[in-house]
Amino acid sequence: MNKIPVILDGDPGHDDAIAWVLANASPLLDIRACTSVCGNQTIEKTSYNSMRVMALIGLNVPFAMGRKKPLLREPIIAPNVHGETGLDGPALPEPAIKPEPIDGVELMAKVLKESAEPVTLVPTGPLTNIGALLLLYPELKPKIARISLMGGGIYFGNWTPAAEFNILVDPEAANIVFRSGVPITMSGLDVTEEALVFPEDFERIRALNNPVATVVAEWLDFFYKFHRGKGYDGAPVHDALAVTALVKPEILTMKDYYVQVETAGDFTTGMTIADHFGVLRQQPNATVVLGIDRQAFVDLLVEAAAYYGKVAG
């Protein structure tokens, strides 16, 4: 079985961290590198969190800090969701590796150049690094097999009525990505708001009683506090969908659309606009994930958390 070579790019973040737990546990993925991006918190905090998550799960691959801010805008951070550290909750190990002496975009380019086969990019934060990669290294597009991203929403937003957080933080980068011609799988709010992990599911994970599962359960505890205050019945583990689309696509419902990103609207900046009726007569540029078998998704997360008990054993 040929594994899918991937680069993980994120701004951990509780749901990014769980996405990386899932990716590292999958026998289908070959993680070549990890990079951080400014999003849920400052780049310094998301980089530190990235390396602590890598230490927790035993992921020993090159890591580099990504761009310090969006391409054209000032950063937007989300301490109200993820806490002042960007990953509040359980104690985590200190980083076991040192960052590469190059930035995240250069590391991505290096991995792409050195790979004998195209590599899939899995960004679960703002698309700053991916946009910069496409601008600086256009010749490497053929080495990108796919971009499986968490971001956007073709029916609604969450940070504004129209825009999802990851796209809103750097809409110019997102616009570059969606116009790139590289195959895209978009896991946006349309599906991630359905990817709810309920408190009883937290307990299934906690009951596995291995160090990673315990931390995942405690991440979910913290993440749910914010969402419970907004009336949610569980924690929507948004970013894990970008990984799920690669390792368990059969539990998802998808549809191809032509998607554009608004960069200048008074009320709609950051909106991902799908051409539902083909009025623009453009070929689809994104496979949009629209639905999920929630129970199968939870089972996948439980299975991933259980993996770390087997590794420890």
Known catalytic residues? 238
Distance CA(65)–CA(51), nearest Å, equals: 10
CA distance from start to end of the chain: 25
Please give the backbone phi and psi of residue 83, each rounded to the nearest 5 degrees, phi first. Answer: 90, 170
Distance CA(81)–CA(111), nearest Å, equals: 32
Residue identified by tokens 């737990």 is 21
Preceding peptide of 13 cis, ω within 30°? yes
Q: Which amino acid is at 126?
A: P
Instruction: Report the 10 Å Cβ neighbour count for 1.
Output: 4
User: Burial letters for 156-172: b for 16+ Cβ neighbours within 10 Å, e otherwise?
Assistant: ebbbbebbbbbbbbbbb
Distance CA(172)–CA(307), nearest Å, equals: 38
Question: Which structure tokens are listed for 15?
Answer: 């749901």
Strand partners, 34: 8, 63
